[in-house]
Amino acid sequence: MIDPERLALIPPGYHEQHSFCFWLHDLMIDVMRQAEAARITDVHVVFKDDAEKAIFEAADDPITFCLENGRPEVAERIVTNQIVIPLYADALHFIHDGMKALEKRKYTVAFALFRKPLKYHLLFLTWLFADEDDFFSRLRRNPADSFDERNVPAEQRKALLTKAIGAIEYNDFLDADVIYGMAFDRNNQLGLAHVGGRRKLTHFGPGSDV
């Protein structure tokens, strides 16, 4: 349980949930720090001979070299490895600040902060986990259009979520339709994507900013 003073403005019935969410946030931060300490994003390239190594060292960048010399899998690994950690870090920053905003009853601010990690980061990280090859090919081909959320239909989002969930060992509590409804369904009045008007949070008492 976090410091009770921080929970003073949060209804008692939500104290445990709020503390649990922060515990998950801190756990993910710790995992990310361990990953960085272990240098898991490093990519080790084995050259077939000294000549290939010399060409690589003279190249403008390693990604171009790999793509132009029949090593697309290495280029993909370099790119995706450099994307994952910053994406997670950025998402966790927004989630942290959103949770802190809830402690001050700044609900409009909190919802605004949660939208980015739970809509955009979630989509990209799910895509990377579910189908890394497709993610990289789209990144190479036309990232501006390929990753524009207007060009990613509901069926594709649900398919990516389903595939990602299927790859997780303990996944009984996860459901692609539920996650889609919470993060992407514009018709869900309690979801983050709803655009039909402001949410009504009348049960939180005085001090709310919505």
- The contacts of residue 50 (CB under 8 Å, 6+ apart) are none
Residue 171 lies in a domain: no
Instruction: Please tell me whether residue 195 adopts helix, strand or coil conformation.
Output: coil
Does residue 189 carry a pLDDT above 90? Answer: no
| Residue 201: per-residue pLDDT | 47
Q: pLDDT value at position 149?
A: 82
For CA atoms 169, 170, 174, 175, the dihedral sign is positive
Is the pLDDT at 151 greater than 80? The verdict is yes
Question: Is the predicted pLDDT of residue 207 greater than 80, yes or no?
Answer: no
Q: Are 123 and 157 in contact (CB under 8 A)?
A: yes
Mean pLDDT, residues 173-195:
89
Please, what sign has the CA dihedral across residues 148, 160, 34, 74?
negative
pTM for the model stands at 0.81
Supply the range of the domain harboring residue 28.
4-114
- Residue 133 covered by a domain: no
- Determine what percent of the chain is predicted with pLDDT higher than 70: 92
- Burial string for 115-139 (b: 16+ CB within 10 Å, else e) reads ebbbbbbbbebbbbbbbbeebbebe
- Categorize the per-residue pLDDT at 183 as very low, low, confident or very high, splitting at 50, 70 and 90: very high
The tens digit of pLDDT for each residue in 159-175 reads 999 999 999 999 999 99
Q: Is residue 196 part of a domain?
A: no
Query: Mean of the pLDDT values across residues 96-113?
Result: 94
Token output for 134: 């497709």
Reported as a single tens digit per residue, the pLDDT across 121-148 is: 999 999 999 999 999 999 988 888 888 8
Domain tally, the chain: 1
Q: Is the pLDDT of residue 203 over 70?
A: no
Q: Is residue 81 part of a domain?
A: yes
62 belongs to a structural domain: yes
* The pLDDT value given to residue 185: 92
Q: List pLDDT tens digits, range 3-55.
A: 888 999 999 999 999 999 999 999 999 999 999 999 988 988 888 889 888 88
